[in-house]
Every structure is written in C-alpha cells, then in structure tokens.
C-alpha cells in the first residue's frame, strides 16, 4: 500500500499498513531497523523482539487513533513513534552546473554628469539630506561637509596632525557637558570611531585653563602624566592603581563630613568658604618615627646643596619608583637630610670624618651641622671656649668666632643640657660618641 496519502501508518519489518490489525505480527521482525536515541519508545521498560514503528503527522486525527490502538497492544509489542509529514515539498533541487546562462555585458562607457544623478541619503543618522539641500541651497558646502563626516562616523579614519591638537581636552569637555554615563561608556569603548567628529568641535578656553591649572597642581604633588590619584578634600587616598578598601573609604568620607559639619558650625556657612579651607593642606597621615626633634631654631650649617648642581635625577617621580627597602632614593633634591650635633672643639670626632666620606661618595643626602658645647662637662662658658679653644681645621665651617658663638647660642643645647637630656624617653647611655645625637628627617613633599 502506498504511503503518499496516508497521514499515519504502521511499519513492521517490510510490512506497511494503515491499521494495526492488518499487520501479520506472527512473523518475527527481521528488518533490523535501528532505534535512535531521540525516538519515542513505549513502553520504555519493555523488552521484546517485536517492535512496531508508528509514523504519523502529529496532530492529525489518524495519528491519534493509531496511538490509541497501539496503547491497547502495548503489553505484546514495543512501539516506536516517529513524526512523518505528508505535506513535504518534493520539488527537485537545482544543482549547480546545469542550465548555465551566458549573459553578455555592455562595456561601452557613457558620459553622465554625476552631480545631477547623485543620490543623497534620505536617512543618515536621522537627517534627510535631500530635503535639507532643497530648503538650504545657500549652505550646500556646509551640508556636504556634514554628510561626509556622518558617513565616516562608523569607520576609523586617520587624523591629521592639526586635528590631534587639544583632542583630549575636547573629549573631556564633551563628556562633562553633553553625555550621560551610557554615552561616555560607548565613547570610551569605540573612541577611534568618534575621534574625527570630536576633533572638529571648539574647546572652551575657560575650561582649558582650569584643567591645565589643575594638572600643574598635580605635578607639584608628584603626580605626573599617566598616573591616577584619588583625593577627598585634599587628602590623598591613593596615588597608585591599587584596590581600595570600600569600608575604609566610607569611614574617610564620614570623617570628612564630620569636619565639614564642624566648620559650618563655626560660621563658615557658604560652601566655597570651607571647601577652600579643606583643600589648602594635604591632611594625609604621615609615617613618623616615635620621637620628633625640631632643629630649625638651631639654624644648622649645611655642608652641601643637592639642588644647586646639574643632575639628571631631579624628578620627584623617582619617589614612586620601586627600590629595595632601606635604599636611599637617587634624587638630587634636598629631601633627605642628616643633621649632626657635634662639639666643634673635639679633635677626635670620628663621626664627622664619616660624614666627610659620605660627601665624597656623592650620596643623595644633605648633611647639616649644629654646634653644641656642654659648659657643665667642660667647666667653662661658651664664650670662654670660643676664645680659648682651637677648632679643628676640617670642622671650621663658621669662618669666624662670632659666627660660631652665634651658632652655639642659637642651638637649643647651649649651656648645661645635653642633646640627650632634651629628649624625653631616651637614655643618655645610648650615645657614646662625641656627637651625642643624630637626627634623621625626611621632609614631606
């Protein structure tokens, strides 16, 4: 029986019938037709050597009737359901290579005025240039330039040198005044595509001066081009691209808000007043030693000046370069200072000789000397010592006796107090040299 007009039929071996009762099921199925993993088999847990395949168009009346009859015989047979559409298109498939058509092309050139036949776009980024040209015939050059820029918006075009001028400032100004966060994200991800359009806009001179002024302030703080910084009211949180603890940041913001509230309570109610006050000083916490010693009143005499000569190591950016722990940064700036408190009349000052050796080696430290004299220990006053005692020629940096006398009097250690006694919590037996005390100070930049 043919299957062309059957919506559903049974297959058992080589037999094909529309009704299950018409199949001769006494014979064993010897067709060996394979059952695929995607086939629907019922009963699923039934093992039998007699398998009947049910084909049909899902949803047809005949298929539903055959399923009902198959379920009645499910105890004796195993059924496999497969979809079979009777409305398949059996039209022949065209093969390449048959029925080739040879078409002759006219290669004659015809002179045509392109200006008359040029098709202007009707929808280019929302603009209909046909209507714009018809209504604004006196602005054809400007419209043509606009059309070219819009057509090149989706492609990367190399920029000329003059187009690169102030391109970064123009981009920042556009993001500041025009764009929302989604537009900024799109601009940064596809910046080469938008760079040509941005290069044609004019930069605001006031905005340009503001940005350049802020950049100079960052450079003075050691933040150069290509570096990032996070600051809150002048307090620098981080100068590197490192992870920030969110909870510490929230705590810092709360502290800043508390300070602002206290300033407002003092009468500075206008925002410009207290914001300027907050940004005057960097309030970042500094790593200080356990003891601080102010030697400025002593007016030390410095033996060298690192900033007076010509050197290639003058950039403060070197402070952010990685160095081994404890290594002196090679910067020709008066940042690292070592102040030596010494008795100018001591001829066996080994520590001063060590300082001279360091000076000859070219180490990047500025050395200063503060003269001290213990009247109680030596049994004479400062004036008597200056008049009677002889100064070692290597240590005679004050030139005259009057300058040495003034330096000794300016020192906080003139008289009967030693430098050690001036520091609380430091014992005198810690110092055995004639210099008695060394102060290492790192200036904050």
Position 437 scores a pLDDT of 36
Q: What digits encode the pLDDT tens for the residues 384-394?
A: 888 888 887 77
For residues 306 and 308, what is the distance between their CA atoms, to the nearest angstrom? 6
Higher pLDDT, 211 or 222: 211
Tokens representing residue 418 in the block: 């030693």
What pLDDT is attached to residue 325? Answer: 67
Model confidence pLDDT, tens digit, residues 413-430? 444 444 444 443 333 333
Check residue 290 and give its pLDDT.
55
Q: Which of 73-77, 82-86, 160-164, 276-280 has the least mean pLDDT?
A: 276-280
Report the predicted TM-score, pTM, of the whole model to 2 decimal places. 0.33
Give me the phi and psi of 278, to 5 degrees please.
-70, -30
Report pLDDT for 285: 47
Say yes or no to pLDDT of 218 above 80. no
pLDDT in tens, 286-329: 454 555 566 677 778 888 888 887 777 777 777 777 777 677 88
B/e letters for 129-139, b = 16+ CB within 10 Å, e = fewer, are beebeeeeeee
């Amino acid at each position: 029986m043919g299957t062309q007009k059957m919506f559903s039929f049974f297959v058992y071996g080589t037999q094909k019938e529309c009704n299950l009762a018409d199949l001769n099921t006494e014979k064993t199925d010897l067709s060996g037709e394979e059952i695929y993993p995607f086939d629907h088999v019922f009963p699923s847990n039934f093992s039998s050597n007699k398998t009947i395949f049910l084909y049909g168009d899902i949803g047809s009346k005949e298929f539903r009737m055959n399923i009902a009859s198959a379920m009645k015989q499910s105890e004796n047979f195993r059924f496999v359901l497969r979809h079979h559409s009777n409305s398949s298109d059996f039209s022949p498939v065209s093969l390449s290579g048959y029925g080739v058509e040879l078409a002759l092309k006219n290669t004659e050139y015809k002179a045509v005025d392109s200006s008359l036949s040029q098709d202007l776009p009707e929808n280019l980024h929302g603009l209909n240039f046909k209507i714009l040209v018809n209504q604004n015939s006196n602005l054809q050059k400007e419209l043509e330039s606009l059309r070219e820029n819009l057509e090149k918006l989706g492609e990367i075009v190399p920029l000329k040198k003059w187009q690169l001028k102030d391109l970064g400032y123009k981009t920042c100004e556009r993001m500041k005044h025009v764009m929302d966060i989604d537009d900024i994200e799109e601009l940064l991800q596809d910046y080469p595509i938008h760079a040509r359009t941005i290069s044609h806009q004019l930069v605001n001179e006031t905005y340009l001066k503001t940005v350049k002024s802020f950049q100079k302030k960052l450079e003075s703080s050691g933040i150069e081009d290509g570096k990032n910084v996070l600051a809150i009211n002048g307090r620098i949180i981080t100068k590197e691209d490192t992870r920030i603890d969110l909870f510490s940041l929230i705590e810092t913001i709360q502290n800043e808000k508390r300070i602002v509230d206290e300033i407002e309570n003092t009468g500075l109610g206008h925002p410009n007043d207290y914001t300027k006050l907050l940004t005057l000083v960097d309030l970042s916490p500094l790593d200080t030693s356990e003891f601080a010693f102010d030697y400025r009143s002593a007016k030390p005499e410095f033996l060298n000046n690192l900033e007076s000569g010509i050197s290639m190591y003058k950039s403060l950016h070197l402070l952010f370069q990685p160095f081994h722990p404890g290594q002196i940064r090679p910067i020709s700036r008066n940042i690292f200072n070592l102040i030596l408190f010494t008795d100018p009349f001591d001829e066996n000052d080994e520590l001063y000789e060590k300082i001279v050796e360091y000076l000859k080696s070219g180490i990047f430290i500025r050395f200063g000397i503060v003269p001290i004299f213990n009247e109680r220990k030596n049994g004479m006053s400062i004036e008597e010592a200056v008049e009677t005692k002889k100064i070692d020629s290597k240590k005679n940096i004050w030139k005259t006796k009057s300058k040495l006398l003034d330096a000794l009097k300016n020192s906080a250690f003139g008289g009967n107090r030693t430098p050690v006694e001036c520091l609380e919590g430091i014992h005198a037996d810690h110092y055995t040299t004639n210099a008695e005390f060394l102060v290492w100070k790192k200036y904050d930049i």
